[in-house]
Structure 1
Amino acid sequence: MSAPRIRIRLKGFDYRVIDQSAADIVETAKRSGARVAGPVPLPTKIEKFTVNRSVHVNKKSMDQFEVRTHKRLIDIVEPTADTVDELKKLNLPAGVDISINV
């Protein structure tokens, strides 16, 4: 049987907030005595939207907008009960989507 592992995925639009949140999680996990792998930057998803500038004329005149979704992956290998308690107490800023798999 494999060792217990907690896999944390962070997603957000601002990479600075994601990196700061990942650093907080890694520092908290290391302080509680667990081994940490990561944060690993995953590919950035770029969604592009093209819209007309004008409603009636100038079909060739368009604007492009994009939304970038940055992702990070953190593996906590062999977590202790103290690690789980400390991670529960951790406050993450707004704009960070977190998913945890055990």
Structure 2
Amino acid sequence: MAQMTHNRVRIKLKTYENKLLTVSCNNIINTINKTEAVIFGPISMPTRRKIYCVLRSPHVDKDSREHFEIRVYTKIIDIYKPSSKTVDALMKLNIPSGVDIEVKI
């Protein structure tokens, strides 16, 4: 039985600001295009929203409330057939602060 080896690197980017996400995705894609790897993505995942309800004055009016919302934007980039040059270029890449990166091999 032949075993298939999956030569794939998956990069998952998360952030609270959509502009930072597009800038970091463009930086990653430009660096990977300089090497011989094959790119699939960036794939936009659904935006996760968390809504918090807070009482404005906790002792007097329960009818007066404020709602706050936090949005988490996520994109996935798949890299097929990565070489050592690709991995080295990704390690040297500067990504703006506020972007969470998960790399799975």
Q: Could you say which TM-score interval applies, normalised by the shorter chain?
A: over 0.9
In 2, Cα distance between the equivalents of 1:15 and 1:9?
A: 14
Q: CA deviation at 1:26?
A: 1.0
Which residues of 2 match residues 28-39 of structure 1 at below 5 A? 28-39=31-42
One-letter amino acid of the counterpart of residue 20, structure 1: V
User: Which residue among 47, 51, 63 is the counterpart of 1:48?
Assistant: 51
Question: 1:55: Cα distance to partner?
Answer: 2.1
- Between the aligned partners of 1:54 and 1:88, the Cα distance in structure 2 is 49
> What is the distance in 1 between the residues matched to 2:76 and 2:99?
13
Sequence identity of aligned pairs in percent?
39
The question of 1:101 aligning with 2:100 is answered no
CA distance in 2, matches of 1:22, 1:44: 16
Unaligned runs of 5+ in 2: none
Alignment partners' CA distance in 1, 2:18 and 2:27? 14
Deviation at 1:3, TM superposition (A): 3.6
Query: Which residue of the other structure, out of 14, 24, 27, is the alignment partner of 1:24?
Result: 27
TM (norm. structure 1) is 0.97
CA distance in 1, matches of 2:31, 2:50: 33
In structure 2, the residue matched to 1:77 is 80
Q: CA RMSD in A?
A: 0.8
Counting matched residue pairs gives 102
Aligned-partner Cα distance in 2 for 1:57–1:22: 48
Amino acid at match of 1:16: K
Give yes or no for the alignment of 1:10 onto 2:51.
Answer: no
Distance 1:93 1:85 in 2: 18
Return the TM-score normalized by structure 2: 0.94
